[in-house]
Chain A
């Protein structure tokens, strides 16, 4: 689909005036807006999360991923560097790596046996000189101009990012000091993979990114937490934002919980009425892992990457768009190399809280689909994002705010030029 001019895309989106406290429902369904996102956003001046460097430990190890809809390969070369290449042969456009992971000396397109080195350079073309002096490529065919496109790549604490943009600031500046500090706190150690999830959801990818930035819903939609007082808005906490609100951290510290049943609209929450107790409390066993006392921190890096700490449950998530009305949430569930056996077991059991069957997180898989269904035919209507005001400014001491969702739309509007 052709990339629209800024003006016609603006008209298409129909953003209602200035600000980011109203979002037209059309952005969740429209194929042209979706197509524009692929170019302006995912191929625009952002750093896209790919995976962990430790997923490709040795030369030739690769995994296939997506940046937006674009298939890419993350591969380690013989020099120890990590390259992110568009997974497409320079000849006829075939997928080069057709397995989701593997190890290879070269990347080979099976269609006509064109070979690439691990940096994406085209090194060999089958029958380049023809057969018995006949056929073959023209003498002036330039091998150098037909490699697999190699993206700008950067890593931070084993996390690999890549960008199509020459203009975007270095990764370190893109993240900023505060965002870097939280990533460092949560995964800046020798981490190990405990498991993965892939959750396919029937909603636009932005509905999930709004959900993950929505600190207001956590104790209202997710009753499991509320019932066991795992997360309460009355706990000390707040929302940190990067400049412009593109990235966010929502955090809380449970030890300072103040009783606040009255703040929930004067009545007890659904699950509290039940007053149930766990038959096996080891489900929520935990230890104080961080000196700062943070018990929960959800961080999003624009556009679609998430770093999660829920007690001792550590995970990375990437929300990959799959057309206007679907997305796939990839999870990396992590532990530390230095964990004791008891700590490792606690992390494994706590993982029941997260993922597609997560006692806390499962509702996030369904609520986006409900919004999708309810808004599909009303593209001109808008969402309301006024909790905590209409601006984009950090919110200390309160998570009863939608400020980080507004921050997301600030970034989205800026890149989409609408």
Chain B
């Protein structure tokens, strides 16, 4: 894959990921990751301090599946949907078949009551690899700007 083709495929992966969540196709969400992977959501403050624990820390695709199973079957929360606004995708470089990518995002949360709010803004720090014909996240670190999470976070960012 040449650089231009890689960039196009990476952008498609990142946009498809956002649509998958926003369209509530959450059972397909783990498929964006490799079997062994790291997905974590962490505040900017803690990320910059190098602390390991975030709001979510999933270390395998199975753990991502468990998150969704729990969300669908066990957890109690007020129904809501996300709308991701993706901006400024930058491919930082490629080493040994791993692309490092940084992307800005905003997630607007709409509650069943009609309340609409900016739920989270921040950046994705990705390490993306090729698996067969497709690209997958080997690592996706979501660094959110605010210290605070309003109420709860059940749907992944």
Contacts and interface: CB of A to CB of B under 8 A. Distances in A.
Interface of A: 193-202, 221, 223-224, 227, 270-271, 274, 276, 278-280, 282-283, 328, 333, 344, 347-349, 351-352, 355-357, 359, 362-363, 365-367, 369-370
A214 B27 CA distance: 34
14 contacts: A195-B51, A197-B149, A199-B148, A201-B151, A279-B61, A279-B65, A280-B63, A280-B65, A282-B63, A349-B63, A363-B75, A363-B77, A365-B151, A366-B77
B112 interface: no
B145 interface: no
Contacts of A344: 52
A202 B151 contact: yes
A280 B58 CA distance: 10
Interface in B46-61: 46, 51-61
Given A348-B52, A362-B75, A200 B66 contact: no
A369 B73 CA distance: 22
Secondary structure class of chain B's binding surface, majority of residues: mixed
A328 B149 CA distance: 10
Contacts, number: 121
B69 interface: yes
Contacts of B149: 197-200, 356-357
Given A197-B149, A333-B53, A357-B153, A349 B59 contact: yes
Contact of A224 (B45, B52, B75, B147): B75
Contact of B69 (A199, A276, A370): A276
B62 interface: yes
B58 A352 contact: yes
B148 A363 contact: no
A59 B90 CA distance: 42
A328 B153 CA distance: 15
B70 interface: yes
A349 B38 CA distance: 11
Contacts of B131: none
Contact of B43 (A196, A276, A348): A196
A351 B57 CA distance: 8
Contacts of A280: 59-60, 62-63, 65-66
